[in-house]
Amino acid sequence: MKALGEAGDGVIFDGTDAELTQPKTEKARSFRTIYKNRFHQDPFMVAGFAYDSLTLITKSAITKNGVTTPSKRRAISISPLDGIMGKICLNNEGESNISLKLMTKKDGKIIPIEFIR
């Protein structure tokens, strides 16, 4: 979206709370602020996924015979994890379904698309 500049206004895409200019959750707001302060740009979806993935790997790590390694079984057992991208629920195979929302860029800001009911 950054590369598109003003031409990106009106483009509809999917994403999570972390991509919104004004995220709704405290975790996403905090992550966005820290990311912008450190990298001087808005976070993009991969940043939130990477952060949540590393958090899950770290929390699932076990030490056996002096070696620390992530455990798929443990990762599944600590699911759901409340992450930057939302609630991460792992199934029995360790796969997750992240809830994506439709959003758009308007006047340089990323906003959610509100549907009329």
Instruction: Give the integer Cα–Cα distance in Å for 16 and 105.
Output: 14
pLDDT, tens digit, 9 for 90 and up, residues 26-84 = 999 999 999 999 999 888 878 888 999 899 989 988 888 888 888 889 899 988 988 88
Q: State the pLDDT at residue 63.
A: 84
- Using the CB atoms, write b or e for 59-90: b if 16+ within 10 Å: ebeeeeeeeeeeeeeebbeebebebbbbebeb
For residue 63 the two structure tokens come to 């030490």
**Alpha helix locations (H) across the chain?**
26-39, 45-59, 72-77
pLDDT, tens digit, 9 for 90 and up, residues 102-112 = 888 888 888 88
